[in-house]
Amino acid sequence: MGNNKVAVLSISAIVLVAVVATVAVTVSNRRSQSADPQLSTSVKNVQDFCRPTDYKETCENTLSSVAGPDADPKELLNLAFNITVKHINDAIDHSTVLSEAAKDPSTSEALENCRELLDYAIDDLRRSVDRLGDFSVANLDKFLDDLKIWLSATITYQETCVDGFEGTTTNAGESMRKMLNSSSELTSNILAIVNNFDDTLSSLNLPINRKLLAEGYPSYVTPGKRRLLATSTADLKPNVVVAQDGSGDVKTIGEAISRVPNKGADIFIIHIKEGEYKEKVHVNKSATNVMLIGDGPTKTKITGSLNYVDGTRTFDTATVAVVGDGFVAKDLWIENSAGAEKHQAVALRVQSDMSVFYNCRIDGYQDTLYVHTHRQFYRDCTISGTIDFIFGDSASIFQNCLILARKPLDNQQNIVTAQGRKMRQQASAIILHNCTISADPAYYDFRTKLPTFLGRPWKMYSRTFILQSQIDDLIHPDGWLPWFGDFGLNTCFYTEVDNRGPGADKSKRVTWKGVKNIDYAHAKKFSVQQFLHGGKWLPRTGVPFTAELLPEGSLK
């Protein structure tokens, strides 16, 4: 206990030093350029606090009206969080008013989705605030990583709310966008300040003890549990067994999930025996640390067919939706069987922070896998689809996965990824590491007529990396496809490093400003260890992972 107190005090002192140093530098720079004695101390403090942000006017206007004359950076940060939460709550109230007046079913559904999404956004803001006042739960690295991920998710949830009105016939979507404009900018500003704080810590070269707590497992995982999680799937003792033939505890996955303790700290293991389960599975936000284990990715199948054409909003089409943090899936087959003609039809939607999918098969056509938010890791999985079949705005790494393009409609072409990073401050990307991108057998003969592209910029700062992967000859020489016009072409971040195979030839790739050539040292920053800090949370699952990139050129 004594050592923990010392650790907390050490971190707090470092945080204080870094904040003071950040403010001192910005104040010094500002005064050297244009000292203005007419400005009050409060205004100066707010201006200096808002300096790293992309939306300075929004930052200064909102804080100046509420900040006291002696407000320090910590007070201003808390004010920024509280104001953002208020704006989002106002948007929730606004959606309720719009819903009461809505007569269009699709608009009503979109507004209902908005309320759910904005509730998630407020949750992430609140836990960010909680983390600001509690440094004892993790080391400083994790503290900063968590804030970046949660704030990035808050931005994404607001954007997803607005996206849900696509195709509706009312002006509700535009009304919600206006309501959320300020809160999105405010969230981006907080994230910019956190990012700037991280940069300041790095530049100060402070003697931070980065092993204040044991790394590898969260503090709640006991030594006995660690040994259990490191054993094979066959040796895991489930809390609930699902079997359609009555040989288990329950017959449906939904019933098993209903038995998960609220916000449980221990892993809750659900074994789903062989069979085809026609269920819409939802692991809600209170169902934390759930592990679903099947009998194999060709034996235990969860299937559905909800789709956009038949009237379901994309967000709600998922056969399996996972929200609760710490989720693990092993040896499962998850499918949306709607088919290419039904357009958007999600098989799996994931919002679970620090979630893992191992030896899973995820099948669909358009929008197969929605990697919506937070930190996600996929290992030895097979993912199939046609248009944007891996899409979303999480921090996701796919390692040793088979990515299969399927035959689209005759007027379509395939796109593997559509990454949804809206703002440059967000800590999100889709990363394929040592994967194989290939053609499904039924598509193989059509791969020239109906080509496949690596990705397209769904949002302005879309970010996708293809690293040390096998790329077969289905990929069009251009590599990357525009979304529409020149949208995002200069601001996206697309790169291919140390790949192999006939589709890895970059000589004819598009020459957008956003298509980058980076060196191996830069690419290493997007490994499991450096981008996801996977060594701190992946071991608890027993799932194998390669922490760093492989030696350059070793796979060719």
Residues catalogued as catalytic: 388
Cβ 303 vs Cβ 372: under 8 Å: no
> 515 CB contacts (<8 Å, ≥6 apart)?
479, 480, 492, 494, 495, 509
Rounded to 5 degrees, φ, ψ at 136 are: -80, -15
Residues 6+ apart with CB under 8 A from 164: 109, 110, 113, 114, 117, 173, 313, 314, 315
Quote the tokens at residue 526.
């997007």
CA torsion angle for 436, 439, 441, 443 (degrees, to 10)? 170
123, burial (CB in 10 Å: exposed 0-12, middle 13-18, buried 19+): middle
DSSP label at 306? -
Residue 265 tokens read as: 């700290």
- SS3 category, 319: coil
Please choose, from the candidates 463, 478, 481, 462, the residue with its C-alpha nearest in 3D space to the C-alpha of residue 518. Answer: 463
501: which 2 tokens?
């195979």
The pair phi, psi for residue 410, each rounded to 5°, is: -65, -20
Structure tokens at 448: 């020239």
Eight-state DSSP code of residue 166: T
Can you list the alpha helix ranges (DSSP code H) found in 244-364? 253-257
Helices marked H in 434-508: none
Tell me how long the chain is: 556
Nearby residues of 489 by Cβ (< 8 Å), 6 or more positions away: 457, 482, 512, 513, 514
Q: Which DSSP state fits 250?
A: B
Sheet of 402-405: strand order equals 275-277, 300-304, 333-336, 361-363, 382-385, 402-405, 436-439, 470-471
